[in-house]
Structure 1
Amino acid sequence: MLLSQTDTFALQQDLGLYCRTGLEAPKTSNQENTPEYRRIVFSIVKDTLKTAFPIARKFVGKKKWKKLVHHFFANHKCKTPQVWKLPSELCDFYRENPFPFKKQFPFLLELLQFEWLEIEVFMMEDADIPRFVPESTSKQKILVGNPEIKILGLQYPIHTKKTKDITEADIGEYFVTIHRNNIDKQVYFNDLSYPFIEMLIQLNEENITLKELEKVYSKYENDKTIAKKITAEFVAFAIENNLILGYK
């Protein structure tokens, strides 16, 4: 007997719920294979998250990680049809929902977000990049930032210290850039203080020259000679590390 569109949708909903929880298997045309279908779906989700969060998984331990993944899969209605984006939804789910071990692992959310951004930046669509040259000339003075970048503010130095060595004494204000190199297309990280973060944001949002960038840094350094020197050193560092591509 053919199912109506409403019946088909209801069956899909029931099958989805069963795959997530393992409870109340719906009546399908191939009933004996329904548990196998759930096993395959959950295996894909489990392996995707395991691959996406190797550091977080090791940090919390296999047992707690298993509970986290099971709870997420059973209680979260996935929004994306793209499996590779599922780690982003786990980050959101963990941030928005209570877990019994949140106090035990105060920086787990930041760790999840950090590991997800590596994937997001690697997989992001190619950005439109204007023509540029590696060095400034009389005609080409406007800095060209790398648009394939994400900036993450942190309370814990998860990007510079091993998780086992991080303590409450490390709480502070940290910033890490996660960018894709426009030459080798690999993802790289940089630990930067806020003044340099503001400089990167400025040159990615508007046309700005080296001299104008000096004005940005002058908010944090009253000595103009020192501000000029540090700005020039940062731009050289940023170009060498592909945070800034060059000049247009």
Structure 2
Amino acid sequence: MSVKSELPAFQQYQIAFASHIRNPQLHKRPRGVEARRMKVYNELLFNNLEGFLLACFPVLRQVLGKRKWTRLVRDFFTAHRCHTPFFRQIPDEFVHYLKNERGARAEDPAFLQDLAHYEWVELMLSVSNKETNFALIDAQGDLMQGQPALNPVLTLQSYDYPVHRISPRFKPTAEQKEETHFAILRNSEDEVKFILINPVSMRLLSLLQATALSGKEVLLQIASEMKHPDPQVVLAGGLEIMQSLRDSQVILGTWHIELPDTRRKNW
């Protein structure tokens, strides 16, 4: 005896009703529901779901085209089981589905996961509840001698494809991979900004996130990793990078030196 047959009749009906809404082509319309009324439910739920996804992934929709996009949304609607009741988190579930459940499919572009994640990050940062405690930061602090303070609403992302250039006219193939790095932040105007950075800047910011070193100490470590013959060149170039990142609000200044590390990390 199946688990479904052991359920009360009303629950069996609910399952049949929901299964038909998820995939009308695979599951028959439950008895007692007029086709016209059932169609209203089908279209209402699917269109609402698609609307939430479209708001977050407009470029992906343009690149795929209407037919492939609709099929992708239908696959997600049919196969994925969301674990949140919040509409805002539907894009989170969609990104999870693409990465962990969908698997490789011939009809999907090679950059599908990268582009979806790139668009989703903007939503993730725009709704972040992290705030800056400027009392802990010296906005004009010495970036070389002090410990640079990063924007709390910041994420570092690397992609296999140049996602910022993907459009209906540019759809890179698997042979056109191009590792691309971004510092993505929310600035003081509550705007999410994507800053294209090179591998050295990526390493610099990664070390600043992971350590309590001064800017100079981080740059000397990078010079050592690069086996650069003249560390002073790395120091000079690194200072320019940090100053530019401060202008972009990736770096907000330096931590006040009198504050203990525990307060720096828990702001």
Q: TM-score range by the shorter chain?
A: 0.7 to 0.9
Could you tell me how far apart the structure 2 residues matched to 1:31 and 1:133 are? Answer: 66
**CA deviation after TM superposition for structure 1 residue 176, in Å:** 1.6
For the Cα contact (< 8 Å) 1:217–1:231, is it kept in 2? no
1:153 aligns to 2:155 (yes or no): no
For the Cα contact (< 8 Å) 1:159–1:176, is it kept in 2? no
For the Cα contact (< 8 Å) 2:63–2:171, is it kept in 1? no
Could you tell me how far apart the structure 2 residues matched to 1:110 and 1:27 are? Answer: 43
Unpaired segments ≥5 residues, structure 2 = 1-6, 256-267
The corresponding residue for 1:180 is 186
SS in 2 for 1:36: helix
Taking a change above 3 Å as real, the CA distance of residues 212 and 75 of structure 1, as seen in their structure-2 partners, is: same
Deviates more, 1:198-207 or 1:65-74: 198-207
1:34-93 alpha-carbon deviations (Å, 9 max, x no partner): 543333221210111112111111111111111111121122212221122212222232
Q: TM-score, normalised by structure 2?
A: 0.78
1:205-246 alpha-carbon deviations (Å, 9 max, x no partner): 332212112223312333112111111001101100011111
- Partner residue of 1:213 out of 191, 195, 218: 218
For the Cα contact (< 8 Å) 2:62–2:168, is it kept in 1? no
SS in 1 for 2:138: coil
Amino acid at match of 1:212: E
SS in 2 for 1:60: helix
Q: State percent identity of aligned pairs.
A: 21
SS in 1 for 2:107: coil
Could you tell me how far apart the structure 2 residues matched to 1:245 and 1:80 are? Answer: 34
- Number of residue pairs matched by the alignment: 240
The corresponding residue for 2:85 is 81
Taking a change above 3 Å as real, the CA distance of residues 205 and 10 of structure 1, as seen in their structure-2 partners, is: farther
Amino acid at match of 1:208: L
- Partner residue of 1:110 out of 108, 114, 122: 114
Q: TM-score, normalised by structure 1?
A: 0.83
Q: Considering only aligned residues, what root-mean-square deviation do their CA atoms show, in Å?
A: 2.9
Deviates more, 1:9-18 or 1:228-237: 9-18
The corresponding residue for 1:51 is 55
- Partner residue of 1:101 out of 107, 123, 127: 107
The corresponding residue for 1:16 is 18
SS in 1 for 2:164: coil
For the Cα contact (< 8 Å) 1:213–1:231, is it kept in 2? no
1:223 aligns to 2:230 (yes or no): yes
**Pairing of 1:156-171 with structure 2 (within 5 A):** 156-160=161-165, 162=167, 164-168=169-173, 170-171=176-177
Taking a change above 3 Å as real, the CA distance of residues 14 and 178 of structure 1, as seen in their structure-2 partners, is: farther
Amino acid at match of 1:114: Y
**CA deviation after TM superposition for structure 1 residue 162, in Å:** 4.3
Amino acid at match of 2:69: W
Amino acid at match of 1:241: S
Amino acid at match of 2:244: F
For the Cα contact (< 8 Å) 1:28–1:34, is it kept in 2? no
The corresponding residue for 1:135 is 140
Amino acid at match of 2:192: V
Unpaired segments ≥5 residues, structure 1 = none
Deviates more, 1:162-171 or 1:225-234: 162-171
